[in-house]
Amino acid sequence: MSERFEVERIPGRTDAVLLVLLVLLVGLGFSALFSASHNWAEQLYGDPFRLARRQAIWIVTGALCAAIVARIPLRLLRRTVPALLCASAVMMLLTFVPGVSEEYLGARRWIYVFGMSFQPSEFVKVSLVFYLAHILSKKHDRLDDTLNSVVPPFIVVLVFGGLIYVQNDFSTAVFVIFVSLLIFFVARVRLRFFIGLALASVPLAVILLLTREHRVLRILAFIDPNLDRFGSGYQVLAAQRALVNGGLWGRGIGQSLQKFGALPEPHSDFVFAVLGEEFGLAGVVGVVGLFLVVAVRGYQLAFESSDPFRSLLAFGVTSMLLLQALLNMAVVAGLVPATGIPLPFFSHGGSAILMTLVMMGLLLNVSREERLGIAAGEYEVAYG
C-alpha cells in the first residue's frame, strides 16, 4: 500500500476546541438574532420568523460548506486561487449592473440571484486572505525584492479595496486593506514598504474620509452624540442606553426595550446592543471571551505551524474574524465611530454568516493538517 494512500485515508482528528467554539457562537448568535429581529420582521413583513428563518438556511448552507472546506487538502484548495479572484472580481462588477443589483441606502453592495441577495465584499474578504497566504508563502524567500514580490499582490488588494470603496462602503474597504497589510507584515515584508505606504496613504485616507458628509457626521456623532441626537448620534445613544439597561445580568431573554423602534435595524450592526441589554455585562464578557479564545487558538495555529501557507492562512482568517468582532463591539460601546462592519455569527446577513463559517472551516483544516504532521514541503508526498 503506497505512502500516498496511507496519508490520504487518515481523516485527522477535528480540533475539539475550535468545534465547540463554533457551535457556541453559532447557537448564541442565532438566539440573539432571533430575539433582535422578530419585532422588526413582523412590522416589515408581517412574519416575525422571516429573518430568523432565512438566517437559519444560510447557517445550514454555511455549515455544509465549512465541513467540505475543512476536509479538502489545502494543497488542492490552493489551486482555486485564480478562480476565487476571478469570481470575486466578476461579482464585484455585477454590483454596478442594473437589474442584477439595486441601490439601497445610497449604496450598491448586493447582487440578487433567484430572489436571494449576496454581498460580494464578504466573498472578497475570504478570497484575499487565501490569495495573500498563497502568494506570499510562495515568495517567502524573495520578499526582500519589494518591486517584484510585494507590489503586485498589493496592487491586487488595492483593486478590490477600490471596488469596495466605489460601492460607497468606505469602512469595509479600509478594513480589508488593513487586514491585508497585517498579513504582509507577518509574512516579513520589509519595514520600508510600510513606511512608504503610510506616508502616501494617510493623507489620502483623510481626504477620502472628510469629502463625504455622512462620514464627517459619523465622526462628530462619535465625539459628541448629543450634537445630533436625532440624526447621526441617534443610534449611538440608543446602543449605549441598551448596554446601560442591561446592567450586570441583563433584562432577560427577549426583554430588550431598545429593539422596539429605538435601535435602527437591531438585528444587523447593533445586534450586540440587544445582546448586552438582555444578557447584561455577564453576557457581553462571555461573548467577548469566546471571540478571544477563537483568536488565541487561531494565532496559536498560525505561529506554531511548520508551513508558511498554513501559517499565513490561519493568521489572516483569525485576524479577519477577531478584528470584525472587536470593531463592531467598539462601535456599539461608543469607542469608535459607526462603521457598518457586522458582528460575525450574530449580525443578520446570509453572505456574512456563510463566509464566516467558511473561514472557520479553513481554520479547522489548518488544525487538521497540523495534526496529521504534514510539514512544509511534504504536500507532494501526502497529496500527490
Tell me the residue range of the domain where 67 lies.
3-383
For residues 341-370, average pLDDT: 94
- The Cα–Cα gap between 50 and 36 comes to 12
pLDDT (tens digit per residue) in 32-83: 999 988 888 888 788 888 999 999 999 999 999 999 999 999 999 999 999 9
For residues 97-109, average pLDDT: 73
Neighbours of 369 (CB within 10 A): 25
Average pLDDT score, the chain: 86
Burial of 376 (0-12, 13-18, 19+ CB in 10 A): middle
Residue 247 region by backbone torsions, left for phi larger than 0, else alpha for psi between -120 and 50, else beta: left
Residue ranges of alpha helices (H) inside the chain are: 3-9, 16-45, 50-71, 74-78, 81-94, 120-138, 151-165, 170-186, 191-210, 213-223, 234-246, 271-304, 308-332, 350-372, 379-383
Which residues are paired to 112 by β-bridges?
A: 117
Which residues are paired to 113 by β-bridges?
A: 116
Output DSSP code: residue 101: B
Residue 46 region by backbone torsions, left for phi larger than 0, else alpha for psi between -120 and 50, else beta: left
Q: Specify the number of domains making up the chain.
A: 1
pLDDT, position 103: 67
CA atoms within 13 A on the CB side of 259: 31
- CA 291 to each of CA 22, 329, 358: distance values in angstroms, whole numbers, following the listed order: 10, 11, 16
**Rounded to the nearest 10 degrees, what angle do helices 170-186 and 120-138 cross at?**
20
Residue with cell 442606553: 241
pLDDT (tens digit per residue) in 343-355: 999 999 989 999 9
Which residues are paired to 98 by β-bridges?
A: 101
pLDDT (tens digit per residue) in 178-213: 999 999 999 999 998 989 888 888 888 778 777 776
Going by C-alpha positions, the residue among 214, 259, 220 that lies closest to residue 34 is 259
Q: How many residues does the chain have?
A: 384
- CA 383 to each of CA 3, 209, 251, 318: distance values in angstroms, whole numbers, following the listed order: 10, 48, 54, 26
- The Cα–Cα gap between 298 and 318 comes to 5
pLDDT, position 230: 64
- The Cα–Cα gap between 94 and 109 comes to 10
At residue 171, what is the residue type?
S
Output the CA torsion sign for 42, 48, 52, 57. negative
CA distance between the termini of the chain: 15
The whole-model pTM stands at 0.90
Residue with cell 427577549: 254
pLDDT (tens digit per residue) in 248-303: 988 888 888 888 777 777 888 889 999 999 999 999 999 999 999 999 999 999 99
**Rounded to the nearest 10 degrees, what angle do helices 50-71 and 350-372 cross at?**
20
